Structure 1
């Protein structure tokens, strides 16, 4: 029995072919993982199979789901399958959640309208599923009050509510720490029964190993290698697959710290932060100097992004003081958002946005072209809107936009959570080069302790707050009071 059969799926943007003819099959109880570089066409292939491609793109080929055979170009024909036969876990959870509804009612609504449960039973089921995902306190929050990882888990609970036999998960663990990543993987695998199927799109090698099943490696819209996941990852045949595996942070050399620290760009003393009535940071003292990189780690929802907002002047501390170097404009302090899709105007073309930013900061127009080349971005992307660009490409465009402001401090909030290992290594390398050559002070947030160990000069670990007596764990250097 075949749950899903896709034959000769092709995606085009006008005359440009983005996905070559790709065929695949998904069988009950056997997950399929699609792995590849950022912009390789993984998400476009899945969107063509689901009938959810952006209007500017065209798909051809046939898709067979259960007893239905559909033409990939007939998007309207897929709508009756959404939620009931196909459950979609989106790459951008904030775009799939209603900004005006709290998390609990959103999941309950899916159980009521899609699964047909009575209202009381739907509320109970929603509460159980959110608790199982570690979201007991999130049910009463709006999407904008959730961290990226928390929003992703809420989206997972809502998508699975209809009981669809086929689950398509597009980067389901983006932005999650290792423990939460394993929790989500376990949740997805638990949905696999003799009549269930799972298709996972990811650049996360650890997630691919955890899911197992079969693996398809994609590059430039074409399949370069297929086989059992364990066999491909342990003995890859294609050179590209070997490069992808070798780019894991475990294989990186440790960055050599500068022999002398530059002047202080930003200082925080006895910093205490709260958000949503919860104490996140208590009594933190730290210093960020030119040319140095501070690594910030901690589980999802512990306050890493809130700390960044405070350092950038976007969140007022409950107690303590933040001092920025004299003579620097507010725009010298920039942030790379964890979810850049929420930071770009949805209806404007990316090139127009970047040109406006360049004019605002008096950056020469040719600087955009130079940064495009350094970040391995095709200039054709500038003619598109954010929805027509992959998550990884959009994150690199967000980095480009921040660099146009000639920053002196960058708070990089999970800047590579959307990127495959090869692109991650390049982007992190670029940030490290900027610290060294331009004297930038950088705070780098990551769930990957190995990445932090390889790249950062100092580290700060934020634990999940569970009571008033919890403390912040930082390196000895950061424990030392300033001045």
Structure 2
């Protein structure tokens, strides 16, 4: 391609609520064959920007400005006019893969249907493309699986394939590599680069600085609803001019130091000779594990290797095929807690976040005054309590999930990719909070992570699961 042409123009885009401005004004152009990557803290407005462009803002929010797409110009608040472009001209991969997947349809059927109805492929051709894409993404075995049976990483790759199936030239991908091991992350990045080489444009929202570097193109840094720095990726990421950009890059896990080793206390959990199969696949066998108070263990391995399954067995949420789990006889089972990989699965979708916390306090006779200090520690502003789970960012919702678990004074916390939705600064703050908790409260921490730098910084020892 000898000359770049505009595929999407965003002009003075703003988003407001009844209480005031949340985003903008933001102006930028996306050109064919060139990437724009948005970096910034959770809640800074990155996902809100994507929703405003698509016309899928939550209730109570209003967009202003103009959006030009496929030769047509739209009022930013006229979402209905843009719906005919969905899938064909512009496609969005949402932050939570469970939002993109229909729980009542098998994975392969959903992807084939998108190829047929949006990509206009014949039935046999649509199914052939479906099998090829799932195999290429390393999840060929999920063609006839239900979404609920997938790991977070598998669901993310399946959702990505569905987003690309319509062949839309404008792609907006919100955290496309969260919850993925480095090999799977690199595969998604390679797919995005292929789309760029084919003449698409890609607006990527991510917390992973490595993804921004790999996609090249331009980088924009968002803070409090504003773009505070923008330029070519290499220039911004190697010589940032804004103080926040410098702090963001400095907080990348690759730069973390190792947390101090704690002295383990009494045993809180012991597993012996665990074995678990998933259909024809054996995830692990003869697995022995003992956890003591104050101990920190990292569980690593590729997506789908059984990391979440292991945690669910230790918590008693899932039965092992063989082996046994012994928990401390005098400790209440409610003090064995989990931070879910997908925070949306941990909250009732139609109840305000405040209810999730106050109901917990009432149920277990906890002091509700403990909520405010924890919210301040995790940088969660009080107005968020009135919102529904889908009306806050994924990072904010994950911090609420951690807060709720801490209210129960856990002796064992299974944290399943707890910071995959957080920007580097907030990620480090949350991880530091969890580590301090294990040290001060004598809580055993089992952390699932795909990031070897996080594992190296946090863990006193590791459990490695193979594919």
Whether 1:228 aligns to 2:246 is no
Aligned residues: 463
Q: TM-score, normalised by structure 2?
A: 0.98
CA distance in 2, matches of 1:362, 1:16: 37
Report the CA distance between 1:194 and its aligned residue: 5.7
Gaps of at least 5 residues in structure 1 are 465-483
CA offsets per residue over residues 213-251 of structure 1, 9 Å max, x none?
Answer: 001100000011000001110111111000000001222
Whether 1:209 aligns to 2:213 is yes
CA distance in 1, matches of 2:15, 2:416: 32
CA distance in 2, matches of 1:132, 1:350: 39
CA offsets per residue over residues 115-164 of structure 1, 9 Å max, x none?
Answer: 11111111011111111111111111100000011001111111111111
CA distance in 1, matches of 2:321, 2:200: 49
User: Does structure 2 retain, via aligned residues, the 8 Å contact 1:28–1:192?
Assistant: yes
Q: 1:108 to 1:228 in 2, by over 3 A?
A: same
Corresponding position of 1:283: 286
Q: TM-score, normalised by structure 1?
A: 0.95
Report the CA distance between 1:18 and its aligned residue: 1.2
Whether 1:72 aligns to 2:76 is yes
User: Does structure 2 retain, via aligned residues, the 8 Å contact 1:269–1:286?
Assistant: yes
Corresponding position of 1:160: 164
Aligned pair partner of 1:351 in 354, 357, 362: 354
Whether 1:102 aligns to 2:106 is yes
Aligned pair partner of 2:442 in 434, 439, 444: 439
- SS in structure 2 opposite 1:53? coil
CA distance in 2, matches of 1:368, 1:107: 42
User: Does structure 2 retain, via aligned residues, the 8 Å contact 1:93–1:152?
Assistant: yes
Corresponding position of 1:125: 129
CA distance in 1, matches of 2:82, 2:294: 52
CA distance in 2, matches of 1:347, 1:108: 31
Corresponding position of 2:65: 61
User: Does structure 1 retain, via aligned residues, the 8 Å contact 2:256–2:453?
Assistant: no
User: Does structure 2 retain, via aligned residues, the 8 Å contact 1:297–1:447?
Assistant: yes
Output aligned runs, 1:262-281, within 5 Å. 262-281=265-284
User: Does structure 1 retain, via aligned residues, the 8 Å contact 2:335–2:409?
Assistant: yes
Aligned pair partner of 1:32 in 30, 36, 48: 36
Corresponding position of 2:396: 393
CA distance in 1, matches of 2:286, 2:60: 51
CA offsets per residue over residues 388-410 of structure 1, 9 Å max, x none?
Answer: 10000000000011112221110
Output aligned runs, 1:76-475, within 5 Å. 76-193=80-197, 195-258=199-262, 260-464=263-467
Report the CA distance between 1:277 and its aligned residue: 3.6
User: Does structure 1 retain, via aligned residues, the 8 Å contact 2:114–2:166?
Assistant: yes
Corresponding position of 1:481: none
Aligned pair partner of 2:23 in 12, 19, 33: 19
CA distance in 2, matches of 1:385, 1:277: 39
CA distance in 2, matches of 1:219, 1:100: 38
Report the CA distance between 1:193 and its aligned residue: 3.7
CA distance in 2, matches of 1:56, 1:436: 42
CA distance in 2, matches of 1:441, 1:450: 20
Report the CA distance between 1:20 and its aligned residue: 2.1
- SS in structure 2 opposite 1:393? helix
Report the CA distance between 1:316 and its aligned residue: 0.7
User: Does structure 2 retain, via aligned residues, the 8 Å contact 1:361–1:404?
Assistant: no
Aligned pair partner of 1:44 in 10, 25, 48: 48
